Chains A and B, each alone.
Chain A
């Protein structure tokens, strides 16, 4: 385990969190963002890492809340589940005046 947040997703992960990931995990997440959804075989083909190493990293990324596993017609895919919106923290009073 080379990522401290591998056990439980605490807060939703964002693009900014991707930057701080270890290289191999970052490479996987970057690739999935570009491809939208990928199979394990596609990740192996792209990263040239061993299947075992990728599976370990995938489990870490799933636990940390960066990616999610899904099935379509019996095929397992991975896709990102990054925080999708960035809402304002400015007080409602200010917005009401606009």
Chain B
């Protein structure tokens, strides 16, 4: 049975794309077939982490939403990022959004058919025989993110230890509950290592009445990497990667 996993945050800059890429890579490494859809059509970027040359994107998610191609034509096999760490069945497919300015403004101007997006997710799962479909969402709440949340089997909400994030996450948690997401996990990112992680965990779980999957420390290596690679693959022994590994196991 395939699972749809949405990675979401109320505010931008929480590390959604980095976390999505790492979690998807770890899950794939276990021998699963994984798809990643960049539904952040207004500000796409996850393709950068996979070293994707945007000039080589023949079709993007935008083209599918405008009826120019089938959804499977927008899927690019990026399994090579695993190098030799994967299993024989491991596969990762990336469905990027266009980084072309005209394409982005066209989406803002004309919108797109939300039902088509939902249909596309199902088609991807069937045609690529996916075990997991990760959805990298646009931050905040809008029609697309609500759709992504409602169709998800698991929702991972990322927040930083920041009062604005805490407040916004409360809103998102409430919405996710009203949309009856079967499983919701919170993930704190960019936590200063000096913080008391146990106290933070207790505070967050009590506030939201939802499980905290992990607390990812702010890592200098992540900043230095500057989205040039997938963190957990580059630094598999880093404490952050170890926590991400545990989070990925909660998704499987």
Q: CA–CA, A54 to B175, complex, Å?
A: 23
User: Which residues of B are found within 8 Å of A34, using beta-carbon distances?
Assistant: 150-151
Residue of B nearest to A34 (CB): B151
With contacts A19-B178, A27-B180, A30-B179 taken as known, whether A86 is within 8 angstroms of B105 at the C-beta atoms is: no
Q: Is the CB of A85 within 8 A of B147?
A: no
Q: CA–CA, A48 to B130, complex, Å?
A: 31
A16 at the interface (CB under 8 A from B): yes
Interface of B is mostly: helix
Residue interface bits B140-156, CB-to-A below 8 A is 1, else 0: 00110011001100000
Q: Is the CB of B111 within 8 A of A15?
A: no
Interface size on B, residues (CB 8 A): 25
Residue interface bits A14-55, CB-to-B below 8 A is 1, else 0: 111011000000110010011010000000000000000000
Q: Is the CB of A87 within 8 A of B114?
A: no
The smallest C-beta distance from A79 to any residue of chain B, in angstroms, reads 9
Within 8 A of A (CB), among B104-118: 105, 108-116, 118
Within 8 A of A (CB), among B139-195: 142-143, 146-147, 150-151, 175, 178-180
Point out the residue from B114, B175, B179 that lies within 8 Å of A82, measured CB to CB.
B114
User: Which residues of A are found within 8 Å of B113, using beta-carbon distances?
Assistant: 84-85
The smallest C-beta distance from A33 to any residue of chain B, in angstroms, reads 5
User: Which residues of A are found within 8 Å of B119, using beta-carbon distances?
Assistant: 36
Interface residues of B (CB under 8 A from A): 101-102, 105, 108-116, 118-119, 122, 142-143, 146-147, 150-151, 175, 178-180
